[in-house]
Structure 1
Amino acid sequence: MTFEKWLQSRLTAHGFPCGLIDGKIGPVTIAALKAFETAKGLPADGVADPIVVEALRASSSTVPAGIAATLPARDFEVSVPAPAAAQVWPRQKDCLSFYGPVGESQVRVTLPFEMKLAWDKATRVRAMTLHSKVADSAERAFARIAATYSEKERAELGIDLFGGSLNVRRMRGGSAYSMHSWGIAIDFDPERNGLNVAAPKARLSHADALSFWQAWEAEGWLSLGRARNFDWMHVQAARL
């Protein structure tokens, strides 16, 4: 990840959205940077100097302490995996032909940060079960999320609350299989992002969740919340 993308990601994670995390420092990013500087009591000059970078780095383990004071901004990089060539996942109606029978071809995906079961927060989760065809993609998305959000920020957003992945069942109110039946969908923090909870009430509809969703969208995954404004807990490797 270039410094420019890291800057946009950290501003967005702090609640100062920059729009698309594309590494292009335009008026929207500058405005977000100035708003962040003002909120921190720093000169609002729109320059990402070492003091600003350290403020953005605060409580995040993704940037080594003190590095902003020793490296010029344009040489600064955060090591995260780049998305593979743009993946086009099948439409929901074609999942059987693409992924095969429900509940099969499952693998264990290790997480880069600890999660908690949403329904039993005392239970820690360090892996989940996903279809073998989406496992590498999910690992890259989780790595980008870990590089963007600190532990505290993940807790505030609720993206450390695991609501489920593989679960062979029918869709609610229908006869078709849920995307969870193939292990190609993941739910986060269902308590604050219920099926029928729309924006802005849904926690994951807020601006500081933008980098989270863009990590998935870079891999071709779909947020039902961003596409249809419902079920904001849910992301899937299938198109509508």
Structure 2
Amino acid sequence: MNKTDVRTLQQYLRENGTYSGKLDGIRGPRTRAAVGATLEAHADTLPEDAGTWSDRRRTVVCLQLACRERKIEVGPLDGLWGPQTEYAADVLATIHRTGKPPVPWRDQTPLDVNPNGWPREAELRQVLGSPTRKPPMVVVPCPWKLALAWDLNTCPTGIGCHERVADSLARVLDRVYDHYGPERLMELGLHRYGGCYNKRRKRGGTAWSTHAWGIAIDWDPAHNKLKWGRDRAHLAGAEYDTWWQIWEEEGWVSLGRTRNFDWMHVQAAKP
């Protein structure tokens, strides 16, 4: 549960007349008091031991109540922050922001947009030069703490990538951080960084990998192996929907979402 989720809850509490403070995303005294008043009013719908829960768990169950009142499927009122509660909170935030629930984009094909003009893979040598020469590199700082997937004690502060994709990557990382927050990113394994620039050919193929130009990134490779499909790859789970949407809105391509293999991989090039 991050600041965005707390702000969503504060807006609900304000609309219900129990909160008059700022929408600052902080679980301060006013927010806790409003949560307490709301839970007391709904005591008959809560588990019997809800009064013994921690402040955080009581905050979560209050947000679950808010979602249920909007008829958003949120699961049991248990005060536990899982994928279903996180998704329901995102839906409620969208309703607050736009007045209507989000379009069920998961049922649609991946976004096919290219706002940054990424080249197609067949054009990479012509556009970006030879893959055997190291490209012009920029290190993009990462807002959350990374750890090398194969050595979790090594923590790079940024991602070295081709200068052409650096601004787009920075926007993606900032939006991901704002949405998930550091704790949730670690829970999801999105701190396990699998590398960007690597002068090599595609594994299992003869063509040069997009990694050779520094325009592809791997995430949590141990749980998203090359040949794994939706039935096994972690990054195919519903809790990563917003993660992929943010990348796709910048034109980056997930091989998992488009071809159902190599779910670790996302690239700034069209297949």
Q: TM-score range by the shorter chain?
A: 0.5 to 0.7
Instruction: Specify whether residues 39 and 207 from structure 1 end up closer, same or farther in structure 2 by C-alpha distance, changes over 3 A only.
Output: farther
Give per-residue Cα distances to partners, 1:140-197, cap 9 Å, x unaligned.
0000100010222111221111001000001113221100000000000000000011
Q: For the residues of structure 1 that align with 2:209 and 2:175, how far apart are their CA atoms?
A: 26
Q: Which moved more, 1:38-47 or 1:112-121?
A: 38-47
Instruction: Report the AA paired with residue 261 of structure 2.
Output: F
Structure showing the higher helix proportion among its residues: 2
Question: Aligned to 2:269, what secondary structure does the other structure show?
Answer: coil
- Where does residue 186 of structure 2 map in the other structure? 155
Q: Secondary structure, in 3 states, of the residue corresponding to 1:235? A: strand
Structure 2 counterpart of 1:65: none
C-alpha distance 94-74 of structure 1, shift in aligned 2 (>3 A):
closer
CA distance in 1, matches of 2:67, 2:249: 34
- Corresponding position of 2:121: 92
1:38 to partner: Cα distance: 9.6
Structure 2 CA distance for partners of 1:146 and 1:56, relative to 1, 3 Å: farther
Corresponding residue to 2:69 among 42, 45, 56: 45
Once the two structures are superposed, the pairs formed by residues 79-228 of structure 1 within 5 Å of their partners are: 86-102=115-131, 103-228=134-259
Is 97-106 or 123-132 further displaced after alignment? 97-106
Unaligned stretches of 5+ residues in structure 2: 9-59, 73-78, 82-95, 99-113
Q: Which structure has the higher relative contact order (CA within 8 Å, separation 6+)? A: 1
Deviations 1:42-74, CA, capped at 9 Å, x for gaps = 5722189xxxxxx999xxxxxxxxxxxxxxx55
In 1, distance between residues paired with 2:147 and 2:120? Answer: 30
Once residues 256 and 209 of structure 2 are traced to their aligned partners in structure 1, the CA distance between those partners, rounded to angstroms, is: 16
Gaps of 5+ in 1: 8-35, 49-54, 58-72, 76-84
Question: Which digits, 9 at most, give the CA deviation of each residue in 1:186-227, with x for residues without a partner?
Answer: 000000000011113100000110111111111100000000
* Structure 1 length-normalised TM: 0.67
The total of aligned residue pairs comes to: 180
Equivalent-residue separation in structure 2 for 1:96 and 1:42 (angstroms): 53
Q: Percent identity?
A: 40
SS in 2 for 1:150: helix
Q: Residues of 2 paired with 1:238 and 1:37: CA distance?
A: 42
**Amino acid corresponding to residue 266 of structure 2 in structure 1:** V
Q: CA deviation at 1:41?
A: 5.0
Shift of 1:101: 2.5
Give the Å deviation of 1:236.
Answer: 0.1
CA contact (8 A) 2:61 2:80 kept: no
